[in-house]
Amino acid sequence: MSTIGSWLRHSCTRVVAAALPQDCLLCGSASDDAPLCVPCRSELPALPRGCPRCAMPSPLGEVCGVCLRHPPPFDTTLAAWPYAYPVDRLVRSLKFHGRLALASYFAEALAPLVARTDAVDVVIPMPLHPARLAERGFNQAAEIARRLTGNPGARTPRTKLALQAASRIRRTLPQADLAFGERLRNVRGAFACAIDLGGARVAVLDDVMTTGATLGELAKVLKRAGAARVENWIVARTLE
């Protein structure tokens, strides 16, 4: 575990330790609306208007220069929040401490965004490598996707959740430790798609999008499997 990793784990433990099961995960006050009280929910940071392809800030909502110069393999990115305090803590709380109530909360936050988009045919959670899945015991993206596709406001009846469609066939280094070019190389050949997506409109659900290298690589594989369109549905977008 890297120093940063241990720090993250440590700071998450502090947040979670402050909370009893019925209490708000952020401020610890008693809450009927667990996992977050109403004031904490209303103070979560808003995502600035962004590029429709990658969700990086773009004042008029136009396609950003990066996406114009190098169009990414995915078509659209929708995100609920910026990856900033305290959303970052919530994401880590789900991932490293198994606070599954947050998976429901994230799905609830994504539902209205997703309801405004054209329907998709298939929702695929970002897969974890089997070794990572065994360590963690669950895939946070799959947990959110399961709850989101169970939400009738967020999907059409023909939308399918395909939990096993994509898999990681190679273990990769943590992207956070790598420079941009290294991130692209690190994820190359990391995914496989087990189903024929012929003409399908696909949504990939992930908790965090940083450079988009991992999501781009998966979108490439899904398009090779026939996907007509790939959108990213993201809980939190890194804006730096």
In the complex, the residues that contact Zn ion under the rule CB under 5 A are: 24, 26-27, 37, 40, 51, 53-54, 64, 67
Judge whether 215 and 204 are in contact, CB under 8 Å.
yes
22 vs 164, beta carbon nearer Zn ion = 22
Tell me how far, at minimum, the Cβ of 231 lies from Zn ion, in Å. 13
Tell me how far, at minimum, the Cβ of 55 lies from Zn ion, in Å. 7
7 vs 85, beta carbon nearer Zn ion = 85
CA angle 167-80-52, nearest 5°? Answer: 80
Query: What's the gap between Cα 87 and its chain centre?
Result: 12
Tell me how far, at minimum, the Cβ of 41 lies from Zn ion, in Å. 8
Place of tokens 């730096």: 240
6 vs 11, beta carbon nearer Zn ion = 11
Q: What is residue 62's three-state secondary structure? A: coil
Tell me how far, at minimum, the Cβ of 26 lies from Zn ion, in Å. 5
184 vs 192, beta carbon nearer Zn ion = 184
Return the axis-axis angle of helices 101-115 and 87-97, rounded to nearest 10°.
130
Longest dimension (CA), the chain: 50
37 vs 90, beta carbon nearer Zn ion = 37
**What's the rounded Cα separation, in Å, for the pair 215 and 77?**
10
27 vs 228, beta carbon nearer Zn ion = 27
Could you list the beta-strand ranges (E) of the chain. 76-82, 122-125, 160-161, 166-168, 191-193, 201-209, 229-237
- Which has the closest alpha carbon to 79: 109, 58, 36? 109
